[in-house]
Amino acid sequence: MKIKLLLGLLLFSSSIFAQVIISPYIVYTDNHNRYGSYIVENKSTQPYEITVSFVFGYPVSDSSGTMKMKYLQETTANDPSIVKWIKAFPKKFILNPDQKQTIRLSVRPDRHLSEGTYWARIVTSASPKSLPVDTVKKGITAQIKFVLNQVTTLFYRVDSARTSIKFDTVWVKNDSGKISIFASMTRTGNSPYLGDLSLAVKNVQNQEVFADTEYIPLYFQLVKRFDIDKSKLPDGTYSAEFRAENIEKRDVPESNIGKVPAIIKKIIFTVP
């Protein structure tokens, strides 16, 4: 019974995620244009109750490169949060099948903010208006309230925005079945670094034996890990080159971020 119920909830969650769509996933505002918007679309055959809220948070990682979101319910003056200055309209509504709703956002911050980028996470919560009913036992039923939270981002930029990346440390860990290459990175400047981090590994003949690229949302500091199957790296000497490239203008065309040069870091390592 419990297994069937859990499976049903997982399928139901996937269904909501596929049917309630949000775009864009980054809303950009600045001190010259304090208004933004995004669209919520219901592609299902049933109505959903939509609620909009805001929270401050950013990605963090541990020393192994495992990432998670860190959310702060209370912030200090040192946190670049705009949560308390955002208004959304509408903030709660019913979205019928095959309908779209534009959510308009306004930011009214303190006029004395220092230059740089401030942000908040937009939490768009969706729950079916008609709650699913589960039969607990014969003659007894229970309603299950399921809420899916989709988290996107609102930026607010004040005047000049500068960002780059600094490689603090790069190291290699040799395990029984894989080689792991780590990069510890710190953001510089006054704005988050939204970029691609590429890793290319070459042998002594300068032949590329491994290449991969991953997105890095670097707000403060992160550790990134790339795992390589040992079968791809016979015993020998290799070079590993990290290349970080800022892609904010690609994802946020209206951004006023200046040109950000690519940053490269290389190391030499041996196997075993």
At 219-237, the pLDDT tens digits run 999 999 999 999 999 999 9
Tokens for 114? 């220092």
At 238-251, the pLDDT tens digits run 999 999 999 998 88
At 121-134, the pLDDT tens digits run 999 999 998 755 55
At 41-92, the pLDDT tens digits run 999 999 999 999 999 999 999 999 999 999 999 999 999 999 999 999 999 9
Per DSSP, what are the bridge partners of residue 100?
Answer: 41
Per DSSP, what are the bridge partners of residue 113?
Answer: none
Question: Taking a C-beta distance cutoff of 8 angstroms, is the pair 81, 147 a contact?
Answer: no
Strand runs labelled E in the chain: 20-23, 26-30, 35-42, 48-61, 67-72, 86-89, 92-95, 100-107, 116-128, 133-137, 140-143, 148-158, 163-174, 178-189, 193-203, 208-218, 221-229, 236-246, 263-271
Instruction: Give the strand pairing for 148-158 and 26-30.
Output: parallel
Residue 5 above 50 pLDDT? no
Tokens for 48? 């959903």
Q: How many CB atoms lie within 10 A of CB 209?
A: 15
Domains of the chain: 2-158 (2.60.40.10), 163-271 (2.60.40.2360)
